[in-house]
Amino acid sequence: MNHLVPTDDGDGDDTWRLPQHAHIVVYERDHVAGSEESVAAENDSDSVSNSIDGNNSVSDSVDGSDSDSRGLLTIYDCGAAQQPPSAQLLGTLESVDASAVVDPQPTGRIVKLREEAVLECQRADRYRII
């Protein structure tokens, strides 16, 4: 489901317009995996040694090569309007260069835009807001 308006610059498949009051809810899977791992580490001394030497699966999957590290971006045209989302995209939000307020959440973050912006797909499942 992607009902976002493509930009007019010819890259309509990879860039979309975001309205001034858009809200992007970013669910990051590595936050959840990290909290599960910390619980396992408390119960298992082997997990602690693996996380110290860097051999745990969470840090290895952050490089983007593992599809399980993908999060979910849910995009709403306006945070105040009670409407269904305009789009849901699997991937990671790499950066926000537009004027926005970013609220950290236990499972990711909420990006509240303060100006019109463009959502750009940089490479497979990696997005940025400019």
| Per-residue pLDDT tens over the stretch 28-66 | 987 554 444 433 333 333 333 333 333 332 223 333 344
Residue 102 C-alpha from the chain's centroid: 12
Give the contacts of 48 (CB within 8 A, at least 6 positions apart).
41
Above 90 in pLDDT, residue 22? yes
The answer to whether 62 and 69 have CB atoms below 8 angstroms apart is: yes
